[in-house]
A and B are shown apart, each in its own frame.
Chain A
Amino acid sequence: MLSIQNLHVSYGPIKVLKGVSLHIDQGEIVALIGANGAGKTTLMSTISGLLRPQSGEIKFEGQDIIKFPPDKIVKLGISLVPEGRQIFAPLTVLENLELGAYLRSKDKKGIKEDLDKIFSIFPKLKERKNQQAGTLSGGEQQMLAIARAFMARPRLLLLDEPSLGLAPMVLELIMDSILELNKEGLTILIVEQNAIKALEISTRGYVLETGRIILQGSSNELKEDPDVIRAYLGKDYEEITER
């Protein structure tokens, strides 16, 4: 569905991604894990057209989308839930959702259906639909951010750090809803610092380390990979002979 080859992205003189290749197949949940500053968010921004890569290839369903602006990428069916939610705080919940469906704002019936679907997945949002989005709690804002992206009817959903700053209970709720969206047929790429959480819900995973992918595999095997666990716990070894 999405395939990326040799992606190089820089912020000014700093190379953030140094030749990243990865792919996502229809129906998968793929986790991209790695420490802070590994380049996860940069990758997401590049896929969604916010950043221009130096070189490389991004193909969505066979089409090269590397030069496409964000709106065209949304139109093709890729939506990003950005890090830190980035909801439209002064607007109401409903307005946020309507804007999610901005590119198909004429399709009133479809929007209505999707709103119903979203409200059934996130009943909290229905309760608060006329409230200013900025007044929602962190978890509700995350739900809103996901729901807003869903309103564009994407086929591929990019989730950037959905767990950031959420209480464990709320996190469970969010993860469940992600699984639910996947069951609805949505393919998902999830970027997480909370590696174990992301690997629990995903099918495959990639490990990004300072702009390079150093490991990939099924989530089950990555979850048990000592390197991943060490990275997750923030403990590294000093001597190769350590037991």
Chain B
Amino acid sequence: MGGGLLALINLRREKIALMGQILQFLFSGLTNGAVYAVIALGFTIIYNATDVINFAQGEFVMLGAMVMYTFVHFLSWPIPVAFFATIICVSVIGILVEFFTIRPAKNADIISLIIITIGVSIFLRGVAMMIWGKDPVAIPPFTGSTPIVFMGAAIDPQIIWVLVITLIAMIFTQWFFKYTIWGKAMRACAVNKKAAKLVGIKVERLVSLSFALSAGISAAAGAVIAPITFASYDMGTMLGLKGFCAAVLGGLGSGVGSILGGFILGILEAFGAGYISSSYKDAFAFLILLIVLFLKPQGLLGQGEVDKL
């Protein structure tokens, strides 16, 4: 494969400046990667709190985009207001999802709970289709659309926004886990639920919180990426799967791992699509996942309890 790649690069060298192209791919990879990373983080947060893999994670991204669209388009709210309102709104939806689906079934086994989340994902997608229709919708970019030219590559300013906001989301998440008592409680919960209960942590409340947090950061990702990709009721499915791949890639349960996994996945995908064929774009993610799972089943950073989050 390496040989093929080189040949491909040589073929195109004459047409475009190599540097600019690599940067182009890199930026689109980073953008996608950042979104995957945030979604993977969302998976990780809920997984650590409940041991459940929430397959409705992608739907939170979709809801982020759709709700943002509604606020901007129908209510004409300014972008910053709409953006924060979106995050709050989807967080509340996250809490409701947990309250009405996961909590009533808390004595069920994990597999049943995972199937419930798949049901939730189908349900949310259906509702979104009923509300917003099947056609993709556009959200205006946050700060115009004049590309920024950087070392021969034209970069959409929204990409900067994506990178900045996802970065903020990641930093916020890490800060939350490291420095707030709830964050510490959630880590404690992830390590030892029984001991967590014994220090007086209300595990149910933390599970709600984890759904809110996870839905909130996913919504932020959805809202910020929508101006680039358009938004549609079914955009969440593929994003959710990619995010899941990233989370597994990084080692399920590890926060840093999932961020890393997201970026690796995004960048490889971008280069693969650019240099090999864009029609295999989606296959790359799963191919990488399979390779990693064969070679290092616990994921890149999954090393058991100690490195969780």
Query: A residues within 8 Å of B by Cβ?
Result: 48-50, 69-71, 74-75, 79-80, 82, 86-91, 95, 98-100, 102-103, 105, 132, 134, 148-149, 151-152
Contact = CB atoms under 8 A, between A and B. Distances in A.
Contact of A91 (B187, B194, B197, B201): B187
Contact of A134 (B187, B202, B306): B306
Contacts of B307: 90
A99 B194 contact: no
B305 A89 contact: yes
A48 B199 CA distance: 10
Contacts of B195: 82, 86-88
Contacts of B199: 74, 79, 99-100, 102-103, 148-149, 151-152
13 contacts: A50-B194, A50-B197, A69-B202, A71-B197, A74-B198, A74-B200, A82-B194, A89-B191, A90-B309, A99-B181, A99-B185, A103-B199, A152-B200
A102 B198 contact: no
Contacts of A74: 198-200
B198 A91 contact: no
Given A132-B306, A134-B306, A90 B187 contact: yes
A86 B200 contact: no
A98 B184 contact: yes
A2 to B, nearest CB: 17
- The DSSP consensus for interface residues of chain B is helix
Residue among A48, A102, A103 with max Cβ neighbours from chain B (10 Å): A102
Contacts of A103: 199-200
B192 interface: yes
A89 B200 contact: no
A90 to B, nearest CB: 5
B200 A70 contact: yes
A67 B194 CA distance: 17
A80 B187 CA distance: 20
Contacts of A100: 199
B191 A91 contact: yes
B192 A86 contact: yes
A147 to B, nearest CB: 12
A152 B201 CA distance: 11
A105 B309 CA distance: 22
Given A91-B184, A95-B184, A103-B200, 9 more contacts: A82-B198, A86-B194, A89-B191, A89-B305, A89-B306, A90-B187, A99-B185, A99-B188, A99-B201
A1 to B, nearest CB: 19
A69 B198 CA distance: 10
A80 B185 CA distance: 17
Contact of A71 (B184, B191, B202, B309): B202
